[in-house]
Chain A
Amino acid sequence: MAKFILKRVLLSIIILLFVMLCIYAIMHSLPTSYVEAKALNLSQKQGQTKTYQELVSEMNARYGLDKGIIGGYFVYLGNFITGNFGDSWYYTIPVTQEFNKTIWNSFILGVISFIVEMLIAIPLGVLAARKQYSFSDYAVTVISLIGISLPTFFTASLLKLIFGTKLGWFEIAGMHNARLTPGVTDSFTYFLDGAAHFVLPALTLIIVSIGGMMRYTRTNMLEVLNSDYIRTARAKGVPERRVINHHAFRNTLIPLVTVMGGALPGLFAGALITETLFSIQGIGYASYHAMVSGDIPFTMFYLTFMAILTLLGNLMADISYALVDPRVRVE
């Protein structure tokens, strides 16, 4: 097992190096005029302690943009490995500091919606599979297909319009009411206010991602229900409840746990569109504004971070698959 993990990790690192090369190549091929214009723009930003010249020379020193792609890549890689990520131009603080500030908001949002999603999607998926071709199966299929098809921005806008404006139940933007200050307001009110701001973003994330999970559960449950050991169990006269809960569901959990394991790192990735539309100051929100305003240090770190999370997700999916299913032999 350890050997398997080690092998996978090494492979992931090699892939990561090439992913970083791709990211670097994209950044390197941006028109110089664009980069310089953005640097000029951001050097005049309030709170910016660096001058335009400093930004440009820092950029060349850190990303080797004045060198060729390969030469520059090693400059960037060297800095990256030694943990030298630089200062964000847009936020005017070190990149890692800004990440640290925002990542937990993303994580909370991600975890809440992930848990709720699982709690809804798995039972419904199982239900649909158990009663295939019933009304509930069709309903689940249609709902999940619609969920997959909804664009995030449209869902978010609709929710804002309905629950935020027309009904006025939840807050539509930001993280906290501006009138409340932490420390002054009592912490429970403050918490409730924060929760009210998180409802719609979480709902958006759940709606757009629940369909996939439901379908996945249904498909896997169907597969299991059609397998020989279920037929055997039924033939033996095992009660239907026990067949479903004990025999079928447990086996359905194998692919589900694999997917969940793979999704865990993604909880830190933030939700680009949702966070931006609801002004939740998470990774997605921060990086959207950094990317649009041409903040190269932040963007480079963000892209690399995303690639690492994806690789980590794959790795964890593989590992959890091997862990959960004893039939899988690791060689």
Chain B
Amino acid sequence: MDDKEKDQEIVNTPEEVKEETTLSTETEVAEETTVEEKVEANETEENSKDSGIMEENLKEGETALDDARRVKVVSPGMLVAKRFFRNKLALVGMFILIFLFAFCFLGSWIYKYDEDDIFQTYKEMYFNYANVDYRETYDYYMFENDPEADITLLAYINENILTKMIPDDLDTLPLQDKNGKEYSLNKLKDGIYKLVRNDKDVSITLAKKRKVGSFTVAGKIYEDWFSPSTSLKNKLDNASGGDIINDGGNSYQLVGTKRGDIICTYGTPAVVSKKDGVEDAFITEAQAHYEDATVTYDAVTYNVFKDGDTYLIYVPVDVDYLISSKMVIDCYEAGTQFTDSFIARALNVVGTDGTADIYGTVYKTSTEDGEVYLDRMVGAEQQHYGIISNLVARRYNGEDTLTVEYKKQAKEVIDYMIAENIYSYMANIKSEKMVEDPDTGELVPAEDEHGDPIYDEEEFEVTRTQRNFVFRNIQAKYVADIYAPPSKDHILGLDYNAMDVLARIMYGGRISLVIGFIVVFIEIVLGMILGGIAGYFGGIVDNIIMRIVDIFYCLPSLPIMIILGAAFDAIGMPNLERIIWMMVLLGILGWPGIARLVRGQILSLREQDFMIAAEASGLSNRRRIFKHLIPNVMPQLIVQATMGLGGVIITESTLSFLGLGVKYPMATWGAIINSVSTINDMIKYTYIWIPVGALICLAVIAFNFVGDGLRDAFDPKMKR
């Protein structure tokens, strides 16, 4: 009973009672009673329990229960509520908040789109279809891949052809690679050149002069392969450095003094090496004519190559090395990919008007209406396999998948444009119809029921830059519909990631609001505990805690959040973890305000009569704090928390706006504005950021209105 009385007293804080009884003016009382009476009718039943206690309470006292009195002591909670609902601003704020919560929490549940749905659309747009030009540069295609090829040699072939062979009208040009190997670049036809390597098929190698051994003064040491005759050996044994010894028609010179080489100059050149099966008669013939340009033996003419004192008797052999050509093969089977070695062989066929068996198929060439064709033998029948020309027609992405039909028409168009010197032209070209592949979403050629391509007559805009022609047509592309303006499907349009802005606002609102509540909860728990302890116990505890509060008060919270946000960014922290960190940090940085408030309140409450009474009746500390002090601090705490919610929402959205808070694809209100962060985007896409910004403002304003209304309702001192 004792406790009950106390509780009663606490709820009716002395201030309020005083204000109700003494300060109400005449008119206010009148107004209050009228409102009161209206409400009374509905309330009597609900309040019966409350008023029952009160009656009991009053019966013990001396005041009689009359109507005027009854009005003044109606449940304090009701009083606050009444004062609150009389405040128009607070009501507006309340409705905004209810709307916002319904919008974010129910809305996101009802609304058909998710926060990370990406919307795509068919957009009719000029699309680069093909790139056509007459190729004037020479590419090379090697017959066999040569890993040791001299890159410099290959790289300069194009330049050699363009700057030497064509201007000077040369048919052949000798070249050499870094290893000294000789090549000749031969013209086969206009636009097709062949590089052949001039190899030597050496039959005999002769030497006029060479080292045959070595000597030392201390005893002649000879190379194993040198087996001198006895007379020569004697002469050599007796000779010393610098001597020249003649023996058997050859002369030997000892180069060096104590140690050196024995150089032999042959009267008749000696055979160093020979090919298998070379007859002695041939050798004799070669030894006789080694100084001539050629040696003829057995009706075959051999060339002589002099390399110092060595003579090579050889037959020149040309090895096809590569084809360098500006021609391309446009195969009738569109999309066929050729290897370099195939192209080299095929162009060789074309260039030499020859026939060749390439990988099991016989290829020939033919000319028809000025076009050069590469033909293929199918059985005995010669079929056109591809067109050889320097017209390079490719899809814009570089793939060689255009049909020969298209290429032919494109050629006509650009020939016309070159002849008439036109730089832009609308051309009708029959092209294969493209449809979207149902599985991959890519555009693929449409096929009829027989598997043949379907053609469309399409208008192409051809633009020319120098020698290059770009064919563009209007295509419906299925693309992410970024920054789509508001429409019936998407009331607020789509954002940079083609996500529905309205859906993101709803989902973002949930996170923003929830973050606000959690941060404020952390602040209040910390602030209430520490502020409560400081205020209640006072003295040194109070001093220490308040200094801690001072310290936290001095920490600049936004800069710290920015630094940590940048650090979280750098270490790639996952979104959820970030949010948790952010909430904890904001809570830790935000509690000192609450602690100060609680401490101040408790300091003043502690001195009041009811606390003295509580102490006198021997209540425990815990009971005094939780039953008597905390409930009295509650009003201020609720006001502070409501106003604080707005502040947290602002901080969170500012951080997300700067890109240091919650990240894509998770949405918060600030992050949505961040998706149009540059000033240009802001001007162009106002429909994205203005509604979100307005919602942030609305939420914060509503919290502030409600907080303000609550403050006025709890503390009627100002309401005079």
User: Interface of A with B (CB < 8 Å)?
Assistant: 14-16, 18-19, 22-23, 26-27, 30-31, 33-34, 37-38, 132, 138, 141-142, 145-146, 148-154, 157-158, 160-161, 165, 172-173, 219, 222, 226, 272-273, 276, 287-288, 291-294, 299, 302-303, 306-307, 310-311, 314
Given contacts A222-B718, A303-B559, contact A145 B701 (CB under 8 A): yes
The contact of A172 among B552, B679, B693, by CB within 8 Å, is B679
User: How far, in angstroms, from A158 to B562 measured CA to CA in the complex?
Assistant: 23
CB contacts under 8 Å to A, within B156-205, are none
Q: Is the CB of B553 within 8 A of A310?
A: yes
User: How far, in angstroms, from A18 to B547 measured CA to CA in the complex?
Assistant: 10
CB contacts under 8 Å to A, within B543-582, are 547, 550-556, 558-560, 562-564, 566-567, 570-571
Q: Is the CB of B693 within 8 A of A149?
A: no
Q: Is the CB of A173 within 8 A of B562?
A: no
CB contacts under 8 Å to A, within B115-165, are none
User: Closest approach, in angstroms, between the C-beta of A99 and any C-beta of chain B?
Assistant: 15
The contact of A145 among B559, B650, B658, B708, by CB within 8 Å, is B708
The contact of A311 among B554, B657, B658, B673, by CB within 8 Å, is B554
Contact residues in B for A37 (Cβ distance below 8 Å): 570
Contact residues in A for B294 (Cβ distance below 8 Å): none
Contact residues in B for A160 (Cβ distance below 8 Å): 679, 682
Q: Is the CB of B554 within 8 A of A310?
A: yes
User: Closest approach, in angstroms, between the C-beta of B565 and any C-beta of chain A?
Assistant: 8
Q: Is the CB of B558 within 8 A of A272?
A: yes
Q: Is the CB of A145 within 8 A of B705?
A: yes
Q: Is the CB of B563 within 8 A of A165?
A: no
Q: Is the CB of B566 within 8 A of A157?
A: no
User: Interface of B with A (CB < 8 Å)?
Assistant: 89, 547, 550-556, 558-560, 562-564, 566-567, 570-571, 646, 650, 653-654, 657-658, 660, 670, 673, 679, 682-683, 686, 689-690, 693, 696-697, 700-701, 703-705, 708, 718, 720
User: How far, in angstroms, from A287 to B553 measured CA to CA in the complex?
Assistant: 20
Contact residues in B for A33 (Cβ distance below 8 Å): 571
The contact of B673 among A27, A154, A226, A303, by CB within 8 Å, is A154
Q: Is the CB of B679 within 8 A of A287?
A: no
User: How far, in angstroms, from A253 to B574 measured CA to CA in the complex?
Assistant: 51
Q: Is the CB of B653 within 8 A of A306?
A: no
17 A-B pairs, CB-CB below 8 angstroms?
A16-B554, A18-B547, A19-B555, A26-B560, A26-B564, A27-B563, A34-B567, A146-B697, A150-B697, A151-B693, A153-B657, A154-B673, A157-B693, A165-B679, A292-B562, A302-B559, A306-B559
User: Closest approach, in angstroms, between the C-beta of B599 and any C-beta of chain A?
Assistant: 16
User: How far, in angstroms, from A263 to B558 measured CA to CA in the complex?
Assistant: 18
Contact residues in A for B679 (Cβ distance below 8 Å): 160, 165, 172-173
The secondary structure that dominates the A interface is: helix
Which chain B residue shows the least CB distance to A288?
A: B562
User: How far, in angstroms, from A160 to B673 measured CA to CA in the complex?
Assistant: 15
User: Closest approach, in angstroms, between the C-beta of B467 and any C-beta of chain A?
Assistant: 40
User: How far, in angstroms, from A145 to B558 measured CA to CA in the complex?
Assistant: 22
Most buried by B among A219, A293, A307: A307
Which chain B residue shows the least CB distance to A307?
A: B554
Given contacts A37-B570, A291-B562, contact A226 B720 (CB under 8 A): yes
Contact residues in A for B696 (Cβ distance below 8 Å): 151, 154
Contact residues in A for B657 (Cβ distance below 8 Å): 151, 153
Contact residues in B for A22 (Cβ distance below 8 Å): 551-552, 555
Given contacts A165-B683, A172-B679, contact A149 B646 (CB under 8 A): yes
User: How far, in angstroms, from A96 to B720 measured CA to CA in the complex?
Assistant: 53
Q: Is the CB of B697 within 8 A of A149?
A: yes
Q: Is the CB of B89 within 8 A of A161?
A: no
User: How far, in angstroms, from A306 to B553 measured CA to CA in the complex?
Assistant: 11
Contact residues in B for A30 (Cβ distance below 8 Å): 563, 567
User: Closest approach, in angstroms, between the C-beta of B697 and any C-beta of chain A?
Assistant: 6
Q: Is the CB of B704 within 8 A of A287?
A: no
Contact residues in B for A172 (Cβ distance below 8 Å): 679
User: How far, in angstroms, from A141 to B696 measured CA to CA in the complex?
Assistant: 19
Which chain A residue shows the least CB distance to B660?
A: A292
Which chain B residue shows the least CB distance to A41?
A: B570
Contact residues in A for B554 (Cβ distance below 8 Å): 15-16, 19, 306-307, 310-311
The contact of A273 among B571, B654, B673, by CB within 8 Å, is B654
The contact of B693 among A18, A27, A38, A158, by CB within 8 Å, is A158
User: How far, in angstroms, from A149 to B556 measured CA to CA in the complex?
Assistant: 20
Q: Is the CB of B693 within 8 A of A287?
A: no
Given contacts A141-B89, A154-B697, contact A19 B551 (CB under 8 A): yes
Q: Is the CB of B563 within 8 A of A219?
A: no
Given contacts A173-B679, A307-B554, contact A149 B704 (CB under 8 A): yes
Q: Is the CB of B654 within 8 A of A151?
A: yes
The contact of A149 among B547, B682, B689, B701, by CB within 8 Å, is B701
Contact residues in A for B682 (Cβ distance below 8 Å): 157, 160-161
Which chain B residue shows the least CB distance to A273?
A: B654
Q: Is the CB of A15 within 8 A of B571?
A: no
Q: Is the CB of A15 within 8 A of B693?
A: no
List the 4 shortest-distance A-B pairs measured between CB atoms, nearest first. Answer: A149-B700, A154-B693, A306-B556, A149-B701
Given contacts A37-B570, A145-B701, A288-B562, contact A153 B654 (CB under 8 A): yes
Given contacts A31-B571, A154-B697, A160-B682, contact A23 B555 (CB under 8 A): yes
Given contacts A15-B550, A15-B551, A222-B718, contact A294 B697 (CB under 8 A): no
Contact residues in B for A145 (Cβ distance below 8 Å): 89, 701, 704-705, 708
Contact residues in A for B563 (Cβ distance below 8 Å): 26-27, 30, 291, 299
Contact residues in B for A14 (Cβ distance below 8 Å): 547
User: Closest approach, in angstroms, between the C-beta of B689 and any C-beta of chain A?
Assistant: 7
Contact residues in A for B689 (Cβ distance below 8 Å): 157
The contact of A151 among B89, B553, B562, B650, by CB within 8 Å, is B650
Given contacts A154-B693, A291-B563, contact A161 B704 (CB under 8 A): no
User: Closest approach, in angstroms, between the C-beta of B95 and any C-beta of chain A?
Assistant: 15
User: Closest approach, in angstroms, between the C-beta of B120 and any C-beta of chain A?
Assistant: 29
User: Closest approach, in angstroms, between the C-beta of B142 and any C-beta of chain A?
Assistant: 42
